[in-house]
Structure 1
């Protein structure tokens, strides 16, 4: 399987008329946050491949439209009954706080966006809050283990795990909860952004237990033929 992974900064090699010749053979796209939705729209319309994304701690102008509490708008009835859910005209799949199954690629993806709480900004979480976000995923993860032979394939985050590719300041500190997640559910990959790489040749890879951790800042191509196999049913 070939996956185009993106995060944090738009890449002129992707945002170009040559995107199809460069990336037309990917199976899907994973976005780890802090990118504008119009960038995702360009990629989807150009490649016609699935795109799954989480939000980071920047470019959050549409975040409220993907949350259940605020994705409702009124469209003019005086009795207040004219309400409809309105989301941006956008073809990507929001996986922040969710566990999803890509049938085409037989791939299980879970998403945990946001950053460590460092001020009163949006989409920031304490360690405790992130842990409870994980706990909400547990029923879906157990279902996957029972019926698909593994909990998940890829955990897509914005922040890094604590002590593994994160930074020392509060904003860029990683989550210990992600370490617990990897111990319990053993994803093949944890893909994150948030930590900018000033040298794109710098090491992006870390390993924790059975999980390969990759910083996908800007652009990273993940190729792994072993991904996308449902061992429980033999497919």
Structure 2
């Protein structure tokens, strides 16, 4: 499947010069935060593609009007045709913003969702706004990465991590991708990702008997 990951800056080629053919082979759009709700509204309505999102630290307006036609995956594991995606938005706390967290607060969020991960036999993709500590973060407090993301990656070994928050336009030694067993991808503005069938179990065949039974029963109900 092809995933279009976006974050932080609206891409002018999409926003001002929209061409639907650009999304013809895209299966899923994922927003890693700090994008206008109207931008996400526009993309999901114009492309007719599913769009998942987490919050960035500047997305407080989502409390007033969330993106329409899109799916928030905060603190949950979302199954997209067998691809198990965990969403954990927000940044390190540097003021009183609503989508900001201390290291301990983010660790508690992870602990609360661990049972859901275990039920599904793991995760294939982690979607965040902030980076993991030491992989694409910066030295100033607002752009620190979370060390607990590293612990989560070591425990569950997702194939991919998508994040935003650190703009590649900030300069310095900035990269879209870090390889640490998990491929950590900075989705700043736009990043296209091909996910192979080998990167996640077939839908309903995770090896977790209870979850696979749930998927099988859901399929029967939806026929």
TM class by smaller structure: 0.7 to 0.9
Residues 62-116 of structure 1 show CA distances to partners (whole Å, capped at 9, x for unaligned) of 23x6xxxxxxxxxxxxxxxxxxxxx7571111011211112xx321111110000
Task: Answer yes or no: is 1:5 the counterpart of 2:5.
Answer: yes
1:202 Cα deviation from its structure 2 partner: 5.3
Counterpart of 1:232 in structure 2 is 206
Runs of 4+ in 1 over 2 A off after TM superposition: 16-19, 226-234
Question: What SS is found at the alignment partner of 2:141?
Answer: coil
Please show how residues 26-37 of structure 1 align to structure 2 within 5 Å.
Answer: 26-37=26-37
Q: Which runs of 5+ in 1 are unaligned?
A: 66-86, 146-150
- TM-score, normalization: structure 2? 0.85
Larger radius of gyration: 1
- TM-score, normalization: structure 1? 0.81
Question: What SS is found at the alignment partner of 1:191?
Answer: strand
Q: Which runs of 5+ in 2 are unaligned?
A: 213-223
More helix by share: 2
Counterpart of 1:72 in structure 2 is none
The answer as to whether partners of 1:19 and 1:46 remain within 8 angstroms in 2 is no
CA RMSD in angstroms, aligned pairs only: 2.1
Residues 25-67 of structure 1 show CA distances to partners (whole Å, capped at 9, x for unaligned) of 100000000011111111111111111100111131123x6xx
Counterpart of 2:220 in structure 1 is none
1:17 Cα deviation from its structure 2 partner: 4.8
Counterpart among 205, 208, 214 of residue 177 in structure 2 = 205
Q: 1: distance between equivalents of 2:148 and 2:179?
A: 16
Task: Answer yes or no: is 1:129 the counterpart of 2:105.
Answer: yes
The answer as to whether partners of 2:37 and 2:67 remain within 8 angstroms in 1 is no
